[in-house]
A and B are shown apart, each in its own frame.
Chain A
Amino acid sequence: MFASFGVLPMDVILGVVVFWLVLGMAGLVLQNSRLIARIIFPLGALGSLALAGAALAGLDETSTAILPLGLPDLPFHLRMDALSAFFLLLLGSASIGISVFSAGYFRDMPKASLGPLCLEYHLFLASMALVFLADDAYLFMVAWESMALSSYFLVTTDHDQPEVRRAGFLYLLIAHVGAISILMCFGVMQGGHGDYTFGAMRHAHLTTSWASAVFFLALFGFGAKAGILPLHAWLPEAHPAAPSPVSAMMSGIMLKTAIYGILRITFDLLGMQLWWWGVAALALGLLTALFGVIFAAVQVDMKRLLAYSSIENIGFILTGVGLTIIFHDSHKDALAALALTASLYHALNHAFMKGLLFLGTGSILHATGERHLGKFGGLIRQMPKLALLMLVGALALAGLPPLNGFVSEWLLLQAFLLSPGLPQPYINMLVPIAAAALVLAAALAGYVMVKFYGVIFLGQPRDSSLAKVHDAGLWERAGMLCMVIGCIALGVFPTFVILHLDHVTEMLVHHSLSVSAAKTGWLLLTPIQAERASYGPLVLLLIIAGGGLLIALAVKKLVHGRLRRGPAWDCGFPAQTARMQDTAEGFGQPIRQIFEWYMGVVRQVPTPFDKHPHFHSETHDLLWNIFYAPVKRLNDAIGKQLGKLQHGRIHIYLLYSFLTLLALLAFVR
C-alpha cells in the first residue's frame, strides 16, 4: 500500500525511528509535564501505528539499506525481511496501547523526572526497532546496548528507593553478561574474516562444533535478556521496580527481542541446525515454563506475579523454538513450520495479554498506591471498567478459549501430537513427557490467573482505604482497550494471523501452513488437515454467547425475574469480615505445599506458649543459592584479595606503574 506512493516500508520505519528520537528530545525541551503526557505520548502512539502498518506491508518483501552513520568505513547495514517485519509489527502494534496508556499514567509526574523519562522511553522504542533492522553485528550491538541502557534508566525511574536501585543494578549486570556472550557469538560467526555484516556471516561455513558454540553462546546471551533459567533472576526484581507502562513494554516487547535474536542466529545466520540443540532448548524451555508458573502461584506482589508469569511464557516460546529445531533437522518441514508458527504466535499474544495486565496493575497502583495483593479485594465494585478490561487479559493469559492465549497453546500442542515418527527413538519417548509438562504449566497458569484476578478484584476489600478508590482514567482505559482488542482479534481470527506468519516460516524453515490453513475457509483453523485438527474460535464464541443469551431469555420468559438483595449466606455464620477470606498467601498455599521441594520455603511457626503468636512464611528461589550466591561469594573473595594491593601510599602505586611498564615492555618485545 506504500509502494503506490513510491515509499518503501523500510523508509516509513526509519522515519518513525527518527520521529521517536525527535519526540524524546522534545520531551526534554517542553516545560509542562501535562503537555508532555498529553501530546508527546499520543504522537508516539501514532508513530507506533505507522510502524505497525509499514511492517505489515513489508512482511512479504526484503529490502536493504546502508546508512552512512557510525564509524568511518563501518556504516550501518539495515535489512528488513519477513522475520524483522514480524517483530517490528509486534513492536508497533503492542506499543500503541502502551503509549496511549502512558499519556494518562505519567500526567501527574513532576517535570524534572518526566522529561528524561520521555527521552528514555522513546529511545527505548527506537533502539528496539533498530535491533530488528540491524544487518551487521556492529549496529546490532549498538542498538542492543542502547536498548539495555535506556530500559535500565526507565527501571530506575524511582531511584530514590534503595530496592529500585538494587533491582536496576541486577538487571544491568545480567544484561551485560548476556551482551558479552552475544558479542562472542558474533565473534565466532565471522569466522576469522573480520567482516561483521550478517550477509558475510550467512556465507561463512562453520564446522559443527563451532556452530554449536555459536548456538549455545546465543542461547546464553539472549537467554539473559529473555529470562530463561537460570538467568531469570532480574525479571522478578526489575518489573516491580519499573513504572507499569515500562514493565508492559519490557515484558511484552523487549523479552521478544531475545527470541528474535535466537531465531535470527539459529535459522538465518547459521546455515545448519542440529537436533540436540533443539532438545536442549526444549528442555530448558519446559523447565523455565514450569519454574515460572509455580513461582507465580506463590507470589504476593502483583507485579512480581506477572513477572514470573512472563518467565513462564518465555519458556513456552522457547519450547516451540526447540521443537522447530528438532523438526527442521529431521526434515519434517511442515511440522517445523507449525511449531515455529506457534512460537511466533505466542510471542505476539504475550505482548498483548501481558502488556494489558501490566498496564492494569499501573491503574491499580495509581488508584491505591499498593502493590501487595494482601491490601486489595473487591476492586470490581470501585473500578468496574478496569475490572472488565483486566478480565479479558486474565482469561487470555490463563490460555482459555476463545481468546488469544489458547490459540498458540493449541498450535504448540498440535505440533507435539503430530510428532510420532521422528527418526531419533529417544526423542520420540521424550515428546509425551514434554507435552505433559507443557499442559501442566498451562493448567497452572489458570490457577495463577484466578488468584491474581480474584484476590485483587473480587471479595471484600481487605483495606478500608479501598472504598474511596476511583476507576482508571480515560487515556489509561483507551490504552488498555487497544490491548483488549488485540487479545480478542488474535484469538478469534487466527487464520488471518497465520496467513501473515507464513512469510516468516517460509523464510526460516522453507515451508508454510497457508495451503492447508486457507483450504477450509477463514472460519476454521486447520493447520495441517481438516481431518487431523480444526478449531473455530469465532464459532465457539458465538455459540457460547448465543447459548448464554438464549438461556437468559428463556429463563426470563418462562419463569420470573424476581430478585432481592440480602446479606451473604455463608452457611449461616453471622460474622463475616474481610479477614475471613483467603489471602494471597492462602490461595498459593496448596501450590507451595505440593512443590515445596522445588522452592526454598522458610517458615516461622509459633509455639503454644507464644504471647504474641506470629506465623511467617517466605518462599525463596533456590536457583539464586545455586547459581548466583557462589558467584557473589567468589567476587567478594577476589575483591578482598585485590584490596591487599591498595595501601594508600603514593610510592607503592608508583612501583605498580613501573612494574606494569616493565612487564609491558617485556611483553611487546
Chain B
Amino acid sequence: MNYPSLMLQLAQNALVLLIAPLLLGWTNQCRAWMQNRTGAGVMQPYRNLVKLFHKDAVLAHNASALFRYTPYILLACMWLAAALVPVLATDLPLSPAVDVIALAGIFALARVFISLAAMDIGTAFGTLGARREMLVGFLAEPALLMVLFTASTISGSTSLITIVETLAHKSFVLYPSMVFAAVAFVMVMLAENARIPVDNPSTHLELTMIHEAMILEYSARHLALVEWASALKLLAYSTIGIALFVPWGIAEVGNWGALPLAVALLFLKLALGGAGLAFIEALSAKMRIFRVPEFMGTAFLLAVLGLLTHFLLEAPA
C-alpha cells in the first residue's frame, strides 16, 4: 500500500458518497422524460436529503436501539460496497479485504438489518415489507452470487480487482456465459434496488410496496441516511455491472495518466446505465408480489445457466 493509492481510495470513497444521489436523480429524470413529464431535475435527491436532514426526527414510542442505529449501519455497509468496486483504477488498497462473495455478504448484512429494523415497531406495514424484502432477497442473493461466480471462474479469481483486470485485458470476446449473466444481473439489480417491475420507488400504495413499507417509520435524518444508502446501493450495483460487463477504460496500476479518461468514461457509462434503467422502468409495469418469485427464479436460473455454459463450453479442458 503506497501513498498515491491510499489517496485514490479516499478519493473514491468521497466520490461515490457524493455522486450517488446524482445517479438516482439522473435515472428519475430520464424516466420523467420518457413518460413525457418535465421531472424535478437531476438535483432533486440532494434537495430531499437537505430537507430531511433539517427536520426534527420523530421516533415511535416503542422504537428500540436497533431501529435507531440501523440507518448508520446501512449507510456504512453501502458506502463500503460502493467504495470497494474498482471503477476508476485497479489500485484500491482496501479492495483485497472484500472479494465478490464478501460483497454479496455485505449486501445481505444490510438487507437483514433493514428488515429487522422494519419489524421493530411492530406495525402491519413494517413486517409486511420485511417479509417481502427477505423473499426478494433470498432469491436475488443466490442469483447475484451466480453472476459473480461466472465472472470469477472466467478470470480464475473472486477478487474484484483481478476480475476487472482480466476482463479489461481481453480483446472484445463475447462470452455466451456472460450474456446470460448480464441478463440475470439486470434482473437482480432491478429487484435489489426496488425498481419497477419488482417494486416501485415512488409508490405509497399500501399493498404494493416493499422497500417503502420497510422505511415507513423512519423520518428526518434517519430517513435521509436510509435514502442515501439506497442511492449508494444503486450506484454500487451500477459500478459492479460496469466492472463485470464493460470494464474497458479503467486506469491500471501506476498508470495515473489514464485517470482523467477513466473518470470521464465512468460518468458516461453511469449516464447510459441510468438511462437504460429508466427505459426498462418506463416500458414495464409493476408485477404482483407473487409473480416476483417467478421473476427472481428466472434470474437465478439464467445465472446458473450462465455458469453451466462456462463450465461446458468455455472452460479450458
Chain A positions near chain B (C-beta within 8 angstroms): 377-378, 380-381, 384, 387, 391, 395, 398-401, 406, 410, 413-414, 417, 420-421, 428-429, 431-433, 435-436, 439-440, 442-444, 446-447, 449-451, 453-455, 458-460, 520, 523-524, 530-536, 539-540, 543-549, 551-552, 555, 558-560, 562-571, 573, 576, 578, 580-582, 586-587, 589-591, 593-594
Contacts and interface: CB of A to CB of B under 8 A. Distances in A.
A552 B68 CA distance: 11
A566 B60 contact: yes
B60 A532 contact: no
A418 to B, nearest CB: 8
The 6 lowest CB-CB distance pairs between A and B, nearest first, are A459-B122, A536-B97, A547-B76, A460-B122, A582-B127, A539-B97
Of listed A459, A520, A589, A593, residue having the most chain B CB within 10 A: A459
Contacts of A531: 157, 159, 162
Given A406-B105, A450-B134, A455-B119, 16 more contacts: A401-B102, A410-B102, A433-B308, A443-B108, A454-B119, A458-B64, A544-B80, A548-B76, A564-B57, A570-B217, A576-B124, A581-B119, A581-B122, A582-B119, A587-B127, A589-B131
Contacts of A381: 62, 64
Contact of A420 (B64, B119, B315): B315
Interface stretch (B24-32, B136-144, B261-269): B136-144
B123 A581 contact: yes
Interface string B203-230: 0101000000000110101000100000
A389 B64 CA distance: 15
Contacts of A563: 56-59
Given A395-B109, A540-B98, A559 B122 contact: no
A457 to B, nearest CB: 8
21 contacts: A387-B64, A398-B108, A398-B112, A429-B312, A439-B141, A439-B142, A458-B120, A531-B159, A544-B80, A551-B225, A562-B56, A569-B58, A569-B60, A576-B122, A581-B122, A581-B123, A587-B131, A589-B131, A590-B293, A593-B290, A594-B293
A380 B64 contact: yes
Contact of B101 (A410, A551, A562, A573): A410
Contacts of A440: 138, 142, 300
A450 B127 CA distance: 11
A93 to B, nearest CB: 25
B33 interface: no
Contact of A535 (B60, B98, B131): B98
B44 interface: no
A65 B64 CA distance: 57
Contacts of B304: 432-433, 436
Contacts of A439: 141-142, 145-146
A540 B156 CA distance: 23
Contacts of B250: none
A413 B225 contact: no
Given A436-B142, A559-B54, A401 B109 contact: yes
A417 B153 CA distance: 6
Contact of B158 (A378, A454, A533): A533
B125 A401 contact: no
Contacts of B134: 446-447, 450-451
Contacts of B120: 380, 458-459
